[in-house]
Structure 1
């Protein structure tokens, strides 16, 4: 944890260890993050589409996000999955793959999935936010497989790191999860998800972005309840005139997610 993070947040001297029920709840959040990670990590295939259609998955997600905004986000994602053929043909998979590429590979929707593009003056990848994320990972003994292919501050390794901390579920890990969400993801990821929810070509990725925003918001609230670490989002840097234009409000995504 950086000195800046310690100044921003009021941290407990000795983090409280979660009880059994809290650990179980956090494990559910980690499993729900796994759904987001599968959608964001790589293109969909037939097996994944079939897995997404399983009724047990939707009952589980509805149990994790059990407030009104959560139920709406789960319902929209389920509707998008239900609209897909049970066995999608190549044309359907190609359309999903093209949308995935526009979001995560080619910047086609002008919705960069990496912090550096949003937070650095030159709007390019692999800036200081990448190294900041790398320092967090190193503290917990992990690293990205190849930062040249996918930088440390890409949303996928960031969510993988949060999931790791939730699965570790020690008091220190949960405090770090709360601070990491605020300092490393809070200033930009809501803008990213909001833009995808507005601009993606397919209903599936629009709904997935909204679902991710609501899930992160609810997770952060749960971490605050357990750890006592209140949400503190750093102000994003002032941007030049080339700053990406504002996007529409996404439920669960404001002010930070």
Structure 2
């Protein structure tokens, strides 16, 4: 089951319930991989099959397919170093992206919109309000704030798998939060990180969310807001340029 090349022409017999369940599964996979380092068990599991094989829905767009190819080709490059060395390199890259912010590509939304690029600012509190409406909260907001990418992905998965929640709510949350900055996050990670996995995985995440939003619009008629500033974080992920030299 894949996204259509043009999500806005979804067939009339589109199985929305199955789609919601599939998206929830994929978003949980993404949340897991954006939320912690890849250990030996995960490394061996990930490289055993093409990444698209692990997804319930595989985005069909050109940028997404290029991102998947970068991930899959990258395992061979990492394996040349030996398993432990590859895991260490992935761990160092994870730290540069998600912990030390060496790449200036924060996984926390506040940093993208606060004038001083500070964490735990207004976006975090707005997202916290969203979570509370659905009886959810961060397990430890001092360690991982509510506006962290992995927690937002997990929250959208919850919305998608709950049949009592309208797709419009998931679309509204995407419009107000993740889609405003995930494209720029992905572009920076892709061009600045050290490993093929994250060079492909960040753009893949952005493409998946954009495709998901298109499907919701096709299914519900809930249109995206008109962008006031095309230069702000959140430009369409189709504009991403993958870095071919990441595999060298």
TM over 0.5: yes
RMSD after superposition: 3.0
Do residues 227 (structure 1) and 214 (structure 2) align? no
Which is further off, 205-214 or 89-98?
A: 89-98
Deviation track 1:71-106 (CA, whole Å, cap 9, x = no partner) reads 333222222234443995322211111110010000
Match of 2:10 in 1: none
State the shift of 1:166 in Å.
Answer: 1.0
Are the equivalent residues in 1 in contact too, given 2:93–2:194 (CA < 8 A)? yes
Does the residue aligned with 1:138 lie in a helix, a strand or coil? helix
Cα 1:97–1:55 shift into 2, 3 Å: closer
In 2, Cα distance between equivalents of 1:137 and 1:233 = 25
Match of 1:113 in 2: 107
In 2, Cα distance between equivalents of 1:105 and 1:75 = 26
Which is further off, 84-93 or 158-167?
A: 84-93
Match of 1:195 in 2: 188
Match of 2:244 in 1: none
In 2, Cα distance between equivalents of 1:82 and 1:233 = 42
State the shift of 1:173 in Å.
Answer: 3.5
Match of 1:251 in 2: 238
State the shift of 1:134 in Å.
Answer: 0.3
Deviation track 1:121-170 (CA, whole Å, cap 9, x = no partner) reads 22100001000000000111111101100111111111110111111134
Aligned residues: 228
Aligned counterpart for 1:182 among listed residues 175, 183, 194: 175
Aligned counterpart for 1:135 among listed residues 119, 129, 136: 129
In 2, Cα distance between equivalents of 1:222 and 1:250 = 15
Runs of 4+ in 1 over 4 A off after TM superposition: 233-236
Q: Give TM-score scaled by structure 2 length.
A: 0.81
In 1, Cα distance between equivalents of 2:191 and 2:166 = 33
Cα 1:28–1:54 shift into 2, 3 Å: farther
Q: Give TM-score scaled by structure 1 length.
A: 0.78
Are the equivalent residues in 1 in contact too, given 2:156–2:170 (CA < 8 A)? yes
Match of 2:246 in 1: none
State the shift of 1:54 in Å.
Answer: 3.8
Match of 1:71 in 2: 65
Structure 2: tracts of 5 or more residues without a match: 1-12, 242-248
Deviation track 1:162-181 (CA, whole Å, cap 9, x = no partner) reads 111111134x3421110000
Cα 1:121–1:63 shift into 2, 3 Å: closer
State the shift of 1:224 in Å.
Answer: 1.1
Match of 2:16 in 1: 22
